[in-house]
Structure 1
Amino acid sequence: MFDDPTFWKVARNNLIYAVGTIPTSIALALCMALFVNGKLRGRGVVRMAYFTPTILPMIAAANIWMFFYAPQIGLFNKLLGMLGLSGVNWLGDPSVALSSVIVMSVWKEAGFFMIFYLAALQSMPPELKEASDLEGTSRWSFFLAGHLPTIDAHHAVCAHQRPN
């Protein structure tokens, strides 16, 4: 089995897929959770919009992304055409197919991971934020000293939990 070049190609593709989806989904989910955790008008609608891809069946998600990726009539190729660029066969060209699948997977998974981070952020005592505001702490400093330690354990949970 280890002498088979197909095995190594599949192993390489799996590694690229994992490295492309897990950290990207986690980073995007954290940004989404930070965004919807703040004071935001229509926060419930935004949360629902972020989480909806997670509850879609994979076949529905695939059909949505086929609308974007279709070689002749896909939205991405139409946008490229408007810019004067030639279209791409997003799922048929081996040089971009894996990246295209990674983008779809990140879109589908990020809302799932957002729930974990949002739960962690909402469990943080509000006094912590009030104290940092009184001290004049910057948002970045508060993220590093307040949010990050609170959500630290959730990184491992998100890395091991996969919705599909």
Structure 2
Amino acid sequence: MRITRIRAVTTIRAEVAREAGVALQTLYPSSPGGKPALAKLVYDITLAGDARPVPRSDRPEVQSILDEPDPARKLARYAAMATAILRRVQPVHRVLRAAAAASPTDAGLQEVLADIERERLKGSQGPAHHLHALGALRPDLTPARAADQIYVLTSTTITATR
């Protein structure tokens, strides 16, 4: 267990340092909030695809989904965007889960993972309510149930293919 914990912690540190182009020793002292804050920052930047402070709802790919009048094409655009996001974020999420599993007493990493899931659940409600407002959901499908389905389909534990 100790070796697994060291590997997971070392892996996340080394990967972040390599991607940032900085020395490993400079990461945590320069990150207010320590390891959990750094882990969340890396995840958020990976999720967005860049470090620009632009809300997800204001990004061009989301605007193109909102502007698309045809529900089927709207869903196709959403699926393409969600797949691209999952491909980017799955490796980071995998490292975070491994680090959290290797450090079960590190409440900070456990909370980061819980926050990510809460944000995903909340984020799945937007598309569901948007489709409902357009009358594009089946009559028997409530926005809450549609959000639950979106949440499950966009899970980081489901492997994206193709």
State the TM-score, normalizing by the size of structure 2.
0.30
Tell me: higher relative CO, structure 1 or 2? Use CA pairs within 8 A at least 6 residues apart: 1
State the TM-score, normalizing by the size of structure 1.
0.29
